[in-house]
Structure 1
Amino acid sequence: MAPIKAALLGFGTVGQGVYEALKTHREQLQAVLGEEVVIEGILVKDGSKKREVDDHVLITTDFDEILNIDGLEVVFEAIVGEEPGFTYLSRALDKGCHVITANKVMFARHGRTLLDKAEALDRYVGYEATTAGGTPIIRSISQLLQVNEIYSVEAILNGTSNFILTNMREKGLPFHEVLKSAQKLGYAEADPASDIEGYDAFYKLMILSELSFGETPKWEDVERKGITEVTAEQISVFKDWGYKVKHLARIRRDRDQFISSVKPMLVDADYPLYGVEDVQNAIMVETSLAGKVTVQGAGAGKLPTASAMVEDLTYVLQPHSLRRKKNSASISEEGSTEDTNSTLVGEYVVIGSSEGFHGADEVEILKQEVKGDLVYLLIECQVSTALLLEENRDLVVYEVAGKLKKAEGRAEQKDLLLKKVINL
């Protein structure tokens, strides 16, 4: 039988991982697909650099040479940035190839365009590797969408940030020291901004939103905050109170609006993602029939990401693939698990000057601790803290995940409770 001809766009860490995985698992792939998968060409930036690949492999800087490979069936894309990745994959689909990508930035922006084009051309776009490395969340959500409606997604989507927060808590080290350690271990890039400022997790959340709900919120409406302002002292206090800081990406569609954020939050031992540590990723999906489904695994790295791309390959090329043609997920009026007509209250930890803070939200103090000139307060208040923050520009606020509940008529206590806070 003729081999399945494939090409690689990019030969950095991920591209090399795909090439290695196809060679080391050649027999397994042939057993599954009935044919051998062979990389025929690799697109690179520097054509003069020596690569450890088979002699027959075309190494080129010209994408047209890749498209002109006779009988090319699959294109793996592992380059960085929106362009030229989007253009390359769009042209590959036009040529009749299936495409598989690990490019989260490009796919967050252009994924729907590529998916629509692929459907029209009866081709396939694999994008498991764009969200959580070797964690098979794309396939899991796609399977759930056969019947279930999805209400919400909550996830730890960046292994670098999770590693930093875990080691700050376990070793009592400041942020900058753990970041240096992460860089030495290869968990963080020389320029770690995408990870530690929350952009990486944001792009991944937008991809999951498109898959789960058929659309994304306006990007500018999504609250995004990184972990650079999390301090060792804060983590120490939270640890004493039974909380961990997790950089959570969350999205819920409630009727005609999205509630979404990417930011540090506090979780206790009852929260499903409490035990996800170091470079692990995990995604919890709340569904109409299956309830809460959690998938956990390696979030990044050469082989976990390559694994996701190779599994996409087997999915599309198996003769009896049951892949969905198009996401038709919708959210009914009853899709929300909360009654938005009732006031919701939640728990927060606020950190500010020991003189206290002022605000119009209903507030009740549950716990407090003074550290030098700062006071740490665990409070219960209305879920919207916008006014509280507006009137207290220096206040640091951490939301406690999973602590939303219905208000119980405490509005008459508001003035008294605020006085208690102010008089600390």
Structure 2
Amino acid sequence: MSVIKVALLGFGTVGEGFYRTIQSHSEELTAVLGRKVEVAAVLVKNKQKERNIRKNVLVTTEFTDILNLPQLDVVVEAIVDKDPTYSYLQKAIERGCHIITANKEMFAHYGQELLELAKRHNVSVGYEATVAGGIPVIQTLRQLLNVNRVQQVQGILNGTSNYILTEMREKKLSFEEALRAAQEKGYAEADPTNDVEGFDAFYKAMILSRLAFKEEPNWHDVERKGITSITGQLIETAENLGLRFKHVASLKISGNQLHASVKPILIGKEHPLYHVEGVQNAVNIYSDIVGQITLQGPGAGMYPTASAVIEDLVYVCQNRPTGQGFISTKETSLVTEQDQKEETWLINGRLQNVNNDSIKLIEHVDDENCIVKAVREDIGRLSTQNEELVFYPILGEYESGRKLAKVAL
């Protein structure tokens, strides 16, 4: 029986999880692929560090050692940072290898270049693990895109931020206390900026945008806000209104206009993201034929992410068309304003004389908060005039007493 030889770049949480899964699921992989899968080499930073890797596996700090292997079929990249990982994968493709990556920052920046290079060399690219950990959102979108036209994607794409917001609400913690708890559990890095300021979710959203809509917005125009401004008092106010704060990446096509944002919003009880808690991720997809579907599961961790990499291994070894569902992007001029349709908003801060033709007061919640209906353009104008005010859109249905503001999902 012939053998599929795999090189693994990185032996951290994801890399080790992938390596262990190759050993534990060897029979299943052989049955699916008709060939045995073997890890031939592992690229590490420190060869002296003790690792549970078989003696017959090459462990090296030099990528050239991997390129010089007599047989090399697949390169799996599980490192961090954009460089030199991008150049490693370029060289692997040029050698004729399929590639798989779990690196969302690198792939958000260079994914299109890698896909085009792979197409020229007749190899495949797997990138399921770049978005939402163990949730098979990439494969799902690939299947939907055979016929369905995706119109909207909304997702909780960062488990760290979701965990912090959950802890703040359930345990009445401050942001700082919840962040510290996340760091103690290993959910947040010592420097949590990528997670809590929305960069991680942003990179994932750009990958999804290319796949779902065949284009991506101008990055500089995307509204990206983190969760650091959300206080325990705001969370309590929202809970009293039957709402929950979630950090949501949103992509929507309307006509030929692409709308994109990554920011905290308020979710009503009937919205599918309302019950997504802790480090869970979820992606809600709306398309013209199937309608609305939601995928939910662990967004990170050794084995959930390893699961995504393993499924990509099957995908690339079957040599699926590289371009499927991921066509050349064009950097469009992003339209940040939604259609001129009223939305429901929570305004945090002291707002005077709210009732006018463009902004309609629904409810005074307390001295610091009120609910209004307005189009996004008018909210933007009000924000410019009152910089101390903070605005949070409400998705789903907001209901308080006899007041009901229905908002499209």
Aligned ranges 1:2-401 → 2 under 5 Å: 2-318=2-318, 325-327=323-325, 343-353=340-350, 356=352, 362-370=358-366, 374-384=367-377, 385-401=379-395
Local SS of the residue matching 1:6: strand
Q: Percent identity?
A: 46
Letter in 2 for 1:247: H
More displaced 10-residue stretch of structure 1: 149-158 or 394-403: 394-403
More displaced 10-residue stretch of structure 1: 65-74 or 130-139: 65-74
Q: CA deviation at 1:324?
A: 6.1
Local SS of the residue matching 2:32: helix
Question: What TM-score does the superposition give when structure 1 sets the normalisation length?
Answer: 0.88
Q: CA deviation at 1:329?
A: 6.9
Q: Deviations over 1:301-355 (max 9, x none)?
A: 111111100111112224xx6656433679xxxxxxxxx8x731010000112x6
Supply the distance in 2 between the matched residues of 1:71 and 1:152 (Cα, whole angstroms).
Answer: 43
Supply the distance in 2 between the matched residues of 1:403 and 1:390 (Cα, whole angstroms).
Answer: 27
Contact 1:128 / 1:139 at 8 angstroms: preserved in 2?
yes
Q: CA deviation at 1:47?
A: 2.4
Supply the distance in 2 between the matched residues of 1:361 and 1:94 (Cα, whole angstroms).
Answer: 61
Local SS of the residue matching 2:233: helix
Q: CA deviation at 1:383?
A: 2.5
Contact 1:154 / 1:250 at 8 angstroms: preserved in 2?
yes
Local SS of the residue matching 2:263: strand
Unaligned residue ranges in structure 2 (runs of 5+):
329-337, 399-409
Q: What residue in structure 2 maps to residue 335 of structure 1?
A: none
Q: Deviations over 1:210-269 (max 9, x none)?
A: 111111100000000011110000000100000000000001122333211100000011
Q: Deviations over 1:88-123 (max 9, x none)?
A: 111101101000000000000111111111122110
Question: What TM-score does the superposition give when structure 2 sets the normalisation length?
Answer: 0.91
Larger-Rg structure: 1
Supply the distance in 2 between the matched residues of 1:154 and 1:184 (Cα, whole angstroms).
Answer: 29
Q: Which runs of 4+ in 1 moved over 4 A?
A: 321-324, 357-361
Q: CA deviation at 1:147?
A: 0.4
Contact 2:211 / 2:326 at 8 angstroms: preserved in 1?
no
Q: CA deviation at 1:48?
A: 2.5
RMSD of aligned residue pairs (Cα, Å) = 2.0
Unaligned residue ranges in structure 1 (runs of 5+):
331-339, 405-424
User: Paired residues, what number?
Assistant: 389
CA change 1:227–1:289 in 2 (3 A) is same
Supply the distance in 2 between the matched residues of 1:63 and 1:151 (Cα, whole angstroms).
Answer: 42
